Chain A
């Protein structure tokens, strides 16, 4: 009787989890559930063209840091000509490759923890165009003073992730890996 009840509860929990996560990452759930690989941050960028083109001007943000809707808006041919006040226009073919990569690896297509947080926050409402506008990102950076970021020559902006997140390129944004440059030693 008790054994039956336990297996029922176990099956119920497993089923609920599968349903929740299948909705977010249908193809990746099995892989996610059966591996011990850490998936705490976001998947690193694996596309050379994305790395080269986006990384030429700024940190090549991992696509899973925004939903696909955001990437579609940001990587529109016309919008790129006024990309946050800068002409970042690309060749049509290159843009297509980058847009395809970004949307295919956007938050809703990833099973990494940060991606799931992005999905959880952006499902409703307008698609955010800045990662630094996400609520949980703001909350995590609430204690930063202007001297640490805005007035810090080596940082300047929250959008400059890899200035402080030493392993940002590998998709790891843990607090243990942060080193704010130009800070006077305590």
Chain B
């Protein structure tokens, strides 16, 4: 009961954060930045001018220059977006590792006969991996909200890949955390694999949508 209300509060908190950040993004998005194209064309040789005065060789050079990669820029090794990306991938790896290391059946609670069946292992490889997965999933959601808050906007609709990414990522993470809580705080072995795997699948699809 206590765990259930904690989980509901966590979900409510996440939802409120998403809505708050979205409202903030919309408020700041009212600036009209559609500058006229001739603002730069006035300083650039027009197509007509190119045809009349510039040789074909220079013309080709110019077009090549327009598409060349800037070499005065070095991409930073570590950024918020990269942290989010790595955490997301790590979550999927950890989730897969958790699924591949199932906990033993075990025996616990009233009526448990430890003579015939070993007690339930609540701190084994599966449990540890699951906890790591949960922490990574929450960290992924938090870094995503911080670094990509302006990619999410309800006005773009739910077909928008960024909105779907947020929806699937947050739902997936919540489902995995719920499954971990459900099992970790139960006095008897409970079925939780379905919801956890569904959460991991949702997160994996969310990642692919914006990869």
A residues near B (Cβ < 8 Å) are: 2, 5-6, 9-10, 13, 17, 20, 33, 36, 38-40, 45, 51-53, 55-60, 83-89, 113, 116-117, 120-121, 130, 132-133, 135-136, 138-144, 149-150, 156-160, 162, 166-167, 169-170, 174-177, 179
Contacts and interface: CB of A to CB of B under 8 A. Distances in A.
Interface residues of B, number: 61
A159 B205 CA distance: 33
B60 interface: yes
Interface of B: 25, 28-41, 43-48, 50, 59-60, 62-64, 66-70, 72-73, 75-76, 79, 81-82, 150-151, 153, 155-157, 159-162, 191, 193-194, 197-198, 201-202, 205, 208-211
Contact of B35 (A5, A113, A159, A176): A159
Contacts, number: 176
Contacts of A162: 66-67, 70
Contacts of B36: 84-85, 157
A13 B150 contact: no
A58 B66 contact: yes
Contacts of B159: 20, 120
A92 B160 CA distance: 37
A159 B75 CA distance: 23
Contacts of A135: 29, 153, 155-156
B82 A142 contact: no
Contacts of B150: 139-140, 142
A158 B36 CA distance: 9
Nearest to A150: B35
A120 B160 contact: yes
B33 A149 contact: yes
Nearest to A80: B47
